[in-house]
Structure 1
């Protein structure tokens, strides 16, 4: 059984373990509580709290997630008490002398991160806010001051907003938490920038990824296991198309959970993997779910509940539920929930998965043929304002009282000032406005015929706390307009018969025109005999015919002059 205790005003969970003693202190704060312009605040505080500890003879670690921050350690009772007491002391009195050093460490950490297939999923679903911020760099680090960090810790790193969990026989003696008083903070409300679902977006990764939001319940976690088995069987065992097929289920803390699945693919097999992946989803959506898959998934979960370490193993997730106020069933209650899951329950979850699905497809592919709508890549609103032309002739920039619109030949991009999550500011005048919907609008003054007051006008409209100073760029990194080369225009409406027609017209003009000239001269140089007056009528007819034959040539020459 997990015991509920209190240590120095902090709710505490204690469970026995047969292995080394370990413990964690979890706070209800993470990246989703930040803003884009201050992204990195919680991660920086986590680093500062650990930095003075240096090299420890026992395991210590810290982790910042979207909704939680945890400090974890493993060692003797004395080690654990010393670690957690020191961490709380550092949180109450941040070692700001290391502020610049830790900022550089975090920048290096971000730059060395390998790109993962799922990294972009959050911004496509949530935008440049709350749960979508995990897709962005920690741009806020540069502007953060010691006072900013102290204010953040005073609000979030408090006794009431923390839970201590210990896998061991007892609470280590001498454990003290020098934390301020505060309040339990709710999980931020999750946004959505998808006008409709199911939706898809294109990514260059060689994988197909599914992201869905489902109600948090046992049937949904079992569905993730069933989906993984079906993907493995269909795409790896039967078709030999994928090597990695996975599915996972992660509670969000607000009564919902993210359900994700992935299947990798070779470049030449991406089309087949995408089709096979969607076929698996369609199969489950219509209720074609194997009882054997349900039984196997439930049996695997039941086995994990039968281990001696089960209570200690679930301490971290148990602590998260305490922080968010979600239920923590007993082991027996959890077993009963597992056994109660039916095929009908999984069919219902499959409907939720499809209804909220966001599919990431490889480059060069779409999923509209399967009923998935393309996720927005441009704006529907075009603002009023002063329009500035591009020096390259392929776009225009409109700066108004409410925001900025980039007018392109394909689709416009608009960011309103009152919905702007951040503005990246370069010393050379370049700006990038990022809307809460993740629309990013980049302005290079060297590429537009801007009035000198245009950029300052934008800066004046965006609050200072949303502006992010970027490092200066080398001169050769600043884009310059390309010379616009006029391409010779091809004759319009030219057809295969034009040239032969011109030849025939020219020959006709020469023959009929020549005959007209000869006959006219003969009539003028000789006296007209009585009865020959009708020959003048023939002369007139020949000249009219000459003019008619010359018309195609005249029209063609006029078209050429107009195109020049």
Structure 2
């Protein structure tokens, strides 16, 4: 049932027992920048630190496009807790920011990234959804003015959804500051189907397409077919995991497939991934696969966890600018999908297909190697001379001209960062590590190249100072 509480869009499913309530805010770490990384997480900590859950199951989390505060327990206690969360969102306790720094650093210390984050970074560069590869705190992530501005921009009533499964608490006060979420924009990668080597332990793949039932059905069917073949028939993977990520406000999704492969089987698994995607672009799904998908969803329809998951998904849809769909209607939409629709969806998405393999993996058959960062076709800048004792690999070159720095790596790829698209500058003694929005990074070190001191000086003069941070 769709309603409204305290001016916030609300999805309520009455049910006996405890109340599961979540306040969803349509702001996540993908709405940060390279140097403000971590500020959404800081807001979550400030809010949770001001709430007293008592004897409740409660927590909060930050995902690419959402910050969620939730509790599960007796309705009155749940309502009281979420009321405290809303009060802290109305009057953010920024005075706690300094004390939370150590807590945030402790929480993120040692955290690393996985295949999902590498796929997103390869598709979106060093910005937006690509920031998941950089856990921790950016140089401006805990600056009070920066955090306050981010909070005022995103944590508003028009960018919130409340979900309630169970009895509705009485006398709820979840008022938030008025306002609507800013518009988002995303770059697109369409050089595929292609492959690249990356910092992943196992092959993985992604495509981008329209947000429709055919897309979610296609990725589930593809993962199922791959697991049957690669695990149960060939015994070369532990599993194949599908994932769907909505890009809010665009009507598009990113579909990802990750694997856990047996040592030595990476090239075979990589080839199977792209072959299955291409095959689905020709045949769609079978009648048996569609029936199995519907049978599974119908069997779990009345399970309370399934109901709660569906409501959470509808909150995500509302925050992405789409209408909520009743659970029965969602199943009916999937039932109406035809093999031709799946075929069309995947065929349309294949130019965005990106396959990543471990760096020591042999080349998968039949695909071109296309660097997923902003590599350029040719080295166009004046080259700096390498020092005699340079420790860089053979073939490495550094070039600089006016507002662009280029670096040719040992594979011959030319990486480029222009000053006007620089998102961060790591500082280490005399060297500078430039991060470009489109995914490239270039290391400028006077110890490796003669004349690089002038490049460092140009970087310091022409790239905004707030983008600089110390390299650990």
TM-score > 0.5 by shorter chain: yes
What is the SS of the residue equivalent to 2:60?
A: strand
Name whichever of 235-244 and 392-401 sits farther off: 392-401
How many Å apart are 1:323 and its aligned residue? 2.4
Match of residue 429 from structure 1: 430
Q: Structure 2 CA distance, aligned partners of 1:399 and 1:363?
A: 28
Q: Distance in 2 between matches of 1:338 and 1:292?
A: 14
Give the corresponding residue for 1:479.
Answer: none
Query: Following the alignment from structure 1 to structure 2, what is the Cα–Cα distance between the partners of residues 442 and 92?
Result: 43
- How far apart, CA to CA, are the structure 1 residues paired with 2:261 and 2:141? 41
- Matches of 1:331 and 1:454, distance apart in 2: 58
Change (3 A) 1:195 1:419: farther
Structure 2: any 5+ residue segments left out of the alignment? Answer: none
2:91 equivalent in structure 1: 93
- Residue 459, structure 1, aligned to residue 460, structure 2: yes
Name 1:208's counterpart in structure 2.
203
Cα drift, residue 246 of structure 1: 2.4
Higher relative contact order (CA 8 A, sep 6+): 2
Report the counterpart of residue 338 of structure 2 in structure 1: 342
Structure 1 unaligned regions, length at least 5:
472-564
| Pairwise CA distance, 1:415 | 1.0
| Counterpart secondary structure, 1:438 | coil
Q: In the alignment, is the contact (CA less than 8 A) between 2:223 and 2:257 conserved in 1?
A: yes
Answer yes or no: is 1:179 the counterpart of 2:176: yes
* Superposition pairs of residues 309-324 of structure 1, within 5 angstroms: 311-324=307-320
Q: Distance in 1 between matches of 2:305 and 2:441?
A: 48
Distance 2:315 2:353 in 1: 29
Q: Does 1:287 align with 2:283?
A: yes
Residues 212 and 356, structure 1, Cα contact 8 Å, conserved in 2: yes
CA offset at residue 381 of structure 1? 5.6
Q: Do the aligned partners of residues 470 and 206 (structure 1) sit closer, same or farther apart at CA in structure 2, a change above 3 Å counting?
A: closer
SS in 1 for 2:365: helix
- 1:251 matched to 2:246? The reply is yes
Instruction: Find 2:357's aligned residue among 341, 350, 361.
Output: 361
Q: Taking structure 1 as reference, are residues 107 and 379 closer, same or farther at Cα in structure 2, changes over 3 Å only?
A: farther
Counterpart of 1:38 in structure 2 is 36
Map 1:103-114 to 2 at 5 A: 103-114=101-112
Task: Identify if the C-alpha distance between structure 1 residues 73 and 203 changes in structure 2 by more than 3 Å, giving closer, same or farther.
Answer: same
Contact 2:196 2:355 (C-alpha < 8 Å) held by counterparts: yes
1:198 is aligned to 2:198: no
Please report the TM-score for the alignment, with normalisation by the length of structure 2. Answer: 0.89
- 8 Å CA contact retained: 1:289, 1:343: yes
CA distance in 2, matches of 1:204, 1:143: 26
Whether the 8 Å contact between 1:36 and 1:139 is mirrored in structure 2 is: no
Number of matched pairs? 465
Pick closer, same or farther for the CA change 1:114–1:431 going to 2, 3 Å.
Answer: closer
Q: Give the secondary structure class of the aligned counterpart of 2:9.
A: strand
Deviation at 1:385, TM superposition (A): 5.9
The reply to whether residue 275 of structure 1 matches residue 271 of structure 2 is yes
Match of 2:259 in 1: 263
Output one character per residue of 1:70-103: Cα deviation in whole Å (capped at 9) or x when no partner: 1111122232222222222223333334323323
Q: Once superposed, what is the RMSD of the aligned Cα atoms?
A: 2.7
Return closer, same or farther for 1:309/1:145 CA change in 2, 3 Å cut-off. closer
| Counterparts of residues 10-89 of structure 1 (less than 5 Å) | 10-53=8-51, 56-89=54-87
Q: Give 1:268 deviation, angstroms.
A: 2.1
The separation in 2 between residues aligned to 1:381 and 1:87, in whole angstroms, is 54
2:347 match: secondary structure: helix
User: 1:131-530 to 2 correspondence within 5 Å?
Assistant: 131-141=129-139, 144-170=142-168, 172-177=169-174, 179-186=176-183, 188-192=184-188, 194=189, 196-253=191-248, 254-287=250-283, 289-307=285-303, 311-365=307-361, 367=363, 369-376=365-372, 378-380=375-377, 382=379, 384=381, 387=384, 389-392=386-389, 395-407=396-408, 410-426=412-428, 428-450=429-451, 454-471=455-472
Deviations 1:122-150 (A, max 9, x none): 11111111221122234425563212211
Counterpart contact for 1:429–1:445, Cα < 8 Å: yes
Structure 1 residues 450, 55: closer, same or farther in 2, change over 3 A?
A: farther
- Matches of 1:308 and 1:100 in 2, distance apart? 41
1:436 Cα deviation from its structure 2 partner: 0.9
Output the CA distance in 2 between the equivalents of 1:101 and 1:141. Answer: 17
Q: What SS is found at the alignment partner of 2:264?
A: helix
Higher helix share: 1
In the aligned structure 2, how far is the partner of 1:381 from the partner of 1:107?
A: 41
- Cα offset, 1:59, TM superposition: 1.5
- Contact 1:390 / 1:396 at 8 angstroms: preserved in 2? no
TM-score (norm 1): 0.76
The alpha-carbon distance between structure 1 residues 307 and 440, as it changes in their structure 2 partners (threshold 3 A), is same
